[in-house]
């Protein structure tokens, strides 16, 4: 049976909790979270990204998060909280569900970069 994007998002949102931008900013300041921007490089180039965040486009996430992959990003640590964001939260939710399936226990969805900005989060780039 085919699954719609709406159904995929609902399933992702059921397992990946939303986090307020203020909480994400605090976790980042404390060094307790890895902030991951899953937008495409062109989006990041146009707006910048959350200070300290790593940019891994949604399409490469699995390859960068898997410790056995030759493309593994060393910043991924299953003991840390992983906070994801995109432009509005949809890609972040789907990415979060994928990370949960890969064994990352504490994964949260910040929503959109605009939420980080609205909360006064620092920006770089």
> Does residue 79 belong to any structural domain of this protein?
yes
Distance CA 115, CA 86 (A): 10
Q: Is a pLDDT exceeding 90 seen at residue 125? A: no
The tally of domains found in the chain comes to 1
* CATH at 38: 3.40.250.10
Query: What are the angstrom distances between the C-alpha of 91 and each of 1, 68, 81?
Result: 22, 24, 18
pLDDT at 48: 97
Distance CA 75, CA 73 (A): 5
pTM of the model: 0.95
Distance CA 88, CA 117 (A): 12
> Does residue 49 belong to any structural domain of this protein?
yes
Residue 56's region, left for phi above 0, alpha for psi from -120 to 50, else beta, is beta
The distance from CA 93 to its chain's CA centroid, rounded to whole angstroms, is 8
> Does residue 61 belong to any structural domain of this protein?
yes
Query: For 24-52, what is the mean pLDDT?
Result: 96
Distance CA 85, CA 93 (A): 8
pLDDT at 16: 97
Residue numbers of the domain that contains 120: 17-124
Task: State the DSSP string of 74-91.
Answer: TT--TTSEEEEEESSSHH
Q: Which pair of structure tokens corresponds to residue 111?
A: 């929503």
pLDDT digits (tens, 9 = 90+) for 4-31: 999 999 999 999 999 999 999 999 999 9
Query: For 112-124, what is the mean pLDDT?
Result: 97
């Amino acid at each position: 049976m085919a699954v719609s994007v709406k159904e995929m998002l609902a399933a992702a949102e059921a397992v990946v909790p939303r986090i307020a931008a203020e909480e994400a900013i605090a976790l980042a300041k404390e060094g307790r979270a890895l902030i991951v921007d899953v937008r495409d490089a062109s989006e990041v180039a146009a707006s910048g990204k959350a200070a300290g965040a790593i940019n891994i486009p949604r399409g490469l996430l699995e390859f960068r998060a898997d410790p056995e992959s030759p493309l593994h990003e060393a910043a991924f640590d299953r003991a840390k909280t992983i906070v994801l964001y995109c432009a509005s939260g949809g890609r972040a939710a789907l990415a979060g569900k994928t990370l949960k399936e890969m064994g990352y226990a504490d994964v949260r969805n910040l929503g959109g970069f605009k939420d980080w900005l609205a909360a006064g989060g620092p920006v770089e780039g």
